[in-house]
Amino acid sequence: MHLLKELDEKNLTGIGQELYRFASELYPICRSITGDGIRRTLSIIQGRIPLQISEVPTGTAVFDWSVPKEWNIRDAYIKDARGNRVVDFQQSNLHVLNYSAPVHAKMPLCDLRPHLFTIPEHPDWIPYRTSYYREDWGFCLSHNQMLALEDGPYEVCIDSTLGDGHLTYGECYLPGHSSDEVLISCHTCHPSLANDNLSGLVVATALAKLLSGCDLHYSYRFLFIPGTIGAITWLARNREHVGRTRHGLVLTGIGDAGGFHYKKSRRGDAEVDQAAGHVLRHHSDSSQILEFSPYGYDERQYCSPGFDLPVGCLMRSVWGTFPEYHTSADNLDFIRPAQLGESLRICAAIFDVLENNRRYRNLNPYCEPQLGKRNLYRSTGGEAIGVEINARLWVLNLSDGKHSLLDIAERSGLPFSTISQAAELLRGSGLLSVVFDELATGTSGRRAGNVAKVT
């Protein structure tokens, strides 16, 4: 599989615009960790990729947690004495404290005040606030909106329901030759916020679509789940199977203009950590690798000590470090088509490395084999001859059964694709043989189950 090549042959500008259009379609939906917003979102994604939808009843025990009540909302407003909606859910779904219990009452501003949330530093923005695990009600509004409120009284209405129901998540499974899996996870629980995390949803959907047409070595599992409780629920229901996860990526906040950030898995030396670091160094202008920390997105759950899965997190700007984070300014102007397209490209490049990374043994290890007599001392591809020969010499030298192609790419400073092409050529000339797993005991080893594809 060479996903990047396939992507580069397509119109990446057009793909970026399509990703943006898809984000725009999902943007107005009022999502939460449960309820019809998430169902509607999943059913739209299901129109593009095969998605198995699971419904887990309220009260189901999932490790130390339990599936919460289901939340749905039809309308919400604060009306002044003249009947004007001074805060209106129909204008922005961020206006309601997400997961608000129902309320319908008349009250003066002084009583309403403790239920109002604003951002004084950005007086025109509406904050995004939630109250999942402590029953409450409230409104989020711009600070200027709040300053304009008179003493009241106000009619306050949140037409929501909070009761027994289900937690909903979607799963797209693409079988490959190996039953070992690559896990891609993104959270679907935020309402009208674009970067966090419609960017992750649309890129994951496009990746699943792209991969579904490929001859895959690994099997791929895409999870579209509510943050935290969704990952916990999925892990609780798949505890016996998660050992199949060989590599994983949480995708979030990948539509903004910031440089890429990759947060390593808890292991820190997983193959996906090495692959993401390599790809970002070679394919993006400015990027940063972050060490693991037990705070952030759903990598927290996948990397909890009982699981310790090799799952990292790909972001552009890091959550909490930009003022638009969790506010109405994380809107469709904050993400751009080209940035979404480039994020898709980076993911494709990471998967290419994972799919094609393997170990070889040099069958002619005593001094250099004579490349000239095998027509290997001249250029065959687009690279400069020096680079091609250099790559062949690196592959021959380090193919001792211990170094993977990615190890060789890292040590030589050459891009993985150049090393991988050189290895393919050398194997075709009978100078290398594939090494299976008896030697690959490191974190980046391939298991015996992978044999079929790599020979």
Least spacing, CB of residue 321 vs Zn ion, in Å: 13
Q: Which of 290, 252, 249, 241 is nearest to 272 (CA)?
A: 249
**CA torsion through residues 391, 393, 396, 402, sign:** negative
If 0-12 CB within 10 Å is exposed, 13-18 middle and 19+ buried, where does residue 403 land?
buried
- Which are the contacts of 228, defined by CB distance < 8 A and separation ≥ 6? 33, 298, 300, 301
**Contact set for Zn ion, span 181-200 (CB under 5 A):** 196
Please list every residue from 130 through 159 that binds Zn ion, using CB under 5 A: none
Handedness of CA 86, 89, 92, 96 (dihedral sign): positive
Q: How far is the CB of 318 from Zn ion (least distance, A)?
A: 12
Neighbours of 344 (CB within 10 A): 24
Tokens of 335: 């993400």
Q: Which residues, numbered 25-64, are part of the site for Zn ion (CB under 5 A)?
A: none
CB nearer to Zn ion: pick between 187 and 217: 187
CA–CA separation, 200 and 183 (whole Å) = 14
- Select 45 or 194, whichever has its Cβ closest to Zn ion: 194
Q: Which two tokens stand for residue 184?
A: 């891609």
CB of 190 to Zn ion, least distance (A): 6
Nearest to 52 by CA among 164, 168, 165: 168
Query: What is the closest distance, in whole angstroms, from the C-beta atom of residue 330 to Zn ion in the complex?
Result: 9
Nearer to Zn ion, 31 or 217 (CB): 31
**CB 58 to Zn ion: min, Å:** 23
Kindly provide the b/e burial profile for residues 127-146, where b requires at least 16 CB atoms within 10 angstroms of the residue's own CB: bbbbebeeeebbbbbbbebb
Q: Which is nearer to Zn ion, 196 or 256 (CB)?
A: 196
Which residue lies nearer to Zn ion by CB, 296 or 312? Answer: 296
Q: Which is nearer to Zn ion, 41 or 444 (CB)?
A: 41
Question: Measured from the CB of residue 326, what is the shortest distance to Zn ion in angstroms?
Answer: 6
Taken as a whole, the chain contains a residue count of 455
Rounded least distance, CB 334 to Zn ion, Å: 13
* Cis, bond preceding 153 (omega within 30 deg of 0): yes
Q: Which residue is nearest to Zn ion (CB)?
A: 196
Residue placing its CB nearer to Zn ion in the complex, 96 or 157: 96
- Please report how close the Cβ of residue 455 comes to Zn ion at its closest, in angstroms: 45
Nearest alpha-carbon partner for 339 in 20, 10, 3: 20
Segment holding 193, helix H or strand E: none
CB of 252 to Zn ion, least distance (A): 8
Closest CA relative to residue 362, chosen from 398, 410, 404: 398
CB of 100 to Zn ion, least distance (A): 18
Footprint on residues 195-224 left by Zn ion (CB under 5 A) = 196
Q: Which of residues 324 and 355 has its CB atom nearest to Zn ion in the complex?
A: 324
- The amino acid occupying position 221 is R
Spatial contact of 216 and 22, defined as CB atoms under 8 Å apart: no
Q: What is the largest CA-CA distance in the chain?
A: 92
As a whole number of Å, the CA-based R_g of the chain is 25
Number of residues in contact with Zn ion, rule: CB under 5 A?
1
Nearer to Zn ion, 300 or 358 (CB): 300
Asked whether 327 and 122 are in contact (CB, 8 A), the reply is: yes
Q: Which is nearer to Zn ion, 130 or 412 (CB)?
A: 130
Cβ closest to Zn ion, residue 49 vs residue 194: 194
| CB atoms near residue 410 (< 10 Å) | 18
Q: Check the CA dihedral 435-437-438-439 and report its sign.
A: positive
252 in Cβ contact with 197 (< 8 Å)? yes
Lookup result for tokens 């015996």: 448
Smallest gap from Cβ 184 to Zn ion, in A, equals 18
Interacting residues with Zn ion (CB under 5 A)? 196
